[in-house]
Amino acid sequence: MFVLDKEKNRINKIKCCTFSDLKFREREHLQEWLENTPTAFGEDDELLFIQKEFDGFDDTRERLDLLAIDKQGDLVIIENKLDDSGRDVTWQVLKYASYCSSLSKQQIKDIYQSYLDKKGVSENAESNISDFLDAEDFKEIQLNKTQRIILVSGNYRKEVTSTVLWLLQKYNIKIQCFKATPFSFGEQIFLNIEQIIPVHEVEEYTIKMAEKAQEEQSTQEEQVIRHKIRIEFWKLLLPKLNTKTNLFANVSPSKDNWITAGSGVSGVGFVFSIAKNYARTEVYMSRGNTEENKFVFDKLFLQKDEIEKQTGTLEWERLENKKACRIKQELRNVSLYEKDDWDKMVDFLIMSMVKMETAFKKPLQTINRELKAEVKE
C-alpha cells in the first residue's frame, strides 16, 4: 500500500506491520475498534452489538468476543485473533454458534440490556432493537432464526481456511473471514479490514452455489431414503402375494416405485405402482408401436363389462397423445411414507392384482394370437 504525495507527485510505501509490532492487544484494541464501528465489516452490513466477552452459556466457562444482531435479526458471532488465527478457531466458533442457537428473543433482549447497563447507557434494549430492524413493535420481531459467524485475524492458517470453505460450500454455514492488517506511515497508523472468504466480489455467487450443492445433497439423501422404503415395502408385499398367485414369483424387491410381471403378451405387463398418495395395480401396454398398444386397449375395452364383473370398476386410460395405454385400479388417500397405511395397501394390491390376472388372462391370450397372426400376414 502507498500514500500519494501530491506536491512531489510521488508515492511512498506504507509499512505493513503486525499488531504485536505495534503493541496492540486483542481485547484492549481490536475488539474495542470493531465494537465501536458498526460498519467495520462493510457499509451494507451494519451490526448492532449486544454483548462482548459473553459467557452466559450453561455448563461452560467459555466466552465469545463479540455478539451482534444483523439487519435480518440473526445473531452474529464474532471471534477476533490478532496476528495468527490458530488452528482451532473454527471449532471454537462453531461451539459458540451452537450455544447461541438456543437463545430466545427474551434472552437476547436481556443480554443486550445487560450490555447497555454495563456501559452506563440509559437506553432500552427493546427500543434499540426495534429501531435497528425498522420495526414498530418489538413483539412482531423475529430474532435468531439462524446464526452467522465472523472471524477476524491478521493471518489465517491453512487448517482454518480449508475448514471454513468446506463449511461454507458443503453445508452452507454463514461464515466469513476478514483479514485485519495494520500499516504505519510516520506517526500515523492505518487499519485495513478486508473480507477474504468468501471473496467479496463473488460472495453472492458463492452462497448460491453452496445452497445449490446443499440442495443436491439433500435430494440425494432423500432419494436414498425413498429407495430403502420402497425396497422394504416390496419385501412385505411379494411374499404375501406369492401365496395367492405365482404371477410375481420371479420378481425381486426394487428401489423403484413400481414392479412389473409379464402377461404373456410382449410389451404388456401387470404392474404394481406405489407413491405418497396412492397404491395402484395396472395392465400397462408399452409395445414399441403406438397402433399396437391402441389395438390391445381397444380389444380389451370391448370386453369392459365382462372384465369389471370380476375386478370391480377400473379406470380405462387410452392416453390419446401418448404411445402407451393403461388400465388401472387405485386405492387413494394412502401413502408409501406412512407405515400405518402399509397393511391396507398390501391387502388392496394383492386382492386387486389377483382379480386382474384372472379377468385379463383369457382376453390377453386371444389378443396375443391375433397380434401374431397379423405379423405372419
pLDDT of residue 223: 74
**What are the distances in angstroms from CA 368 to CA 18, 276, 338, 362?**
87, 35, 40, 10
Residue 212 lies in a domain: no
Residue 289 lies in a domain: yes
Rg (CA), the chain: 35
Residue 257 lies in a domain: yes
Amino acid at 338: E
pLDDT of residue 43: 65
Q: What pTM does this model have?
A: 0.57
pLDDT of residue 28: 93
133 lies in the same domain as 237: no
Q: What percent of the chain has pLDDT over 70?
A: 93
- Does the structure show a pLDDT above 90 at 60? no
7 lies in the same domain as 150: yes
- Does the structure show a pLDDT above 80 at 91? yes
Residue 206 lies in a domain: no
| Lowest pLDDT segment from 53-62, 97-106, 258-267 | 53-62
- Does the structure show a pLDDT above 80 at 11? yes
226 lies in the same domain as 357: yes
- Does the structure show a pLDDT above 90 at 225? no
pLDDT digits (tens, 9 = 90+) for 299-337: 999 999 999 999 999 999 999 999 999 999 999 999 999
Confidence of residue 202 (pLDDT cuts 50, 70, 90): very low
- Does the structure show a pLDDT above 80 at 375? no
- Does the structure show a pLDDT above 90 at 1? no
Q: How many structural domains compose the chain?
A: 2
Q: Is the pLDDT higher at 185 or at 223?
A: 185
Q: Which domain holds residue 261?
A: 221-376
Residue 189 lies in a domain: yes
Instruction: For residues 183-207, give the mean pLDDT.
Output: 77
172 lies in the same domain as 225: no
Give the closest residue to 14 by CA, choosing from 177, 190, 163. 190
- Does the structure show a pLDDT above 60 at 135? yes
pLDDT digits (tens, 9 = 90+) for 235-288: 999 999 999 999 999 999 999 999 999 999 999 999 999 998 999 999 999 998
pLDDT of residue 371: 87
Specify whether the CB–CB gap between 269 and 324 falls below 8 A: no
pLDDT of residue 333: 93
Q: What percent of the chain has pLDDT over 90?
A: 74
239 lies in the same domain as 368: yes
Q: Is the pLDDT higher at 375 or at 78?
A: 78
Angle at which helix 89-100 crosses helix 158-171, to 10 degrees, equals 40
252 lies in the same domain as 337: yes
| Lowest pLDDT segment from 217-221, 313-317, 347-351 | 217-221
State the cell numbers at 236.
412385505
Amino acid at 309: K
Give the closest residue to 348 by CA, choosing from 338, 334, 366. 334
Euclidean distance between CA atoms 199 and 343, whole angstroms: 55
Beta bridge partners of 261: 270
> Domain of 138: which CATH number?
3.40.1350.10
Residue 214 lies in a domain: no
pLDDT of residue 208: 63
pLDDT of residue 58: 72
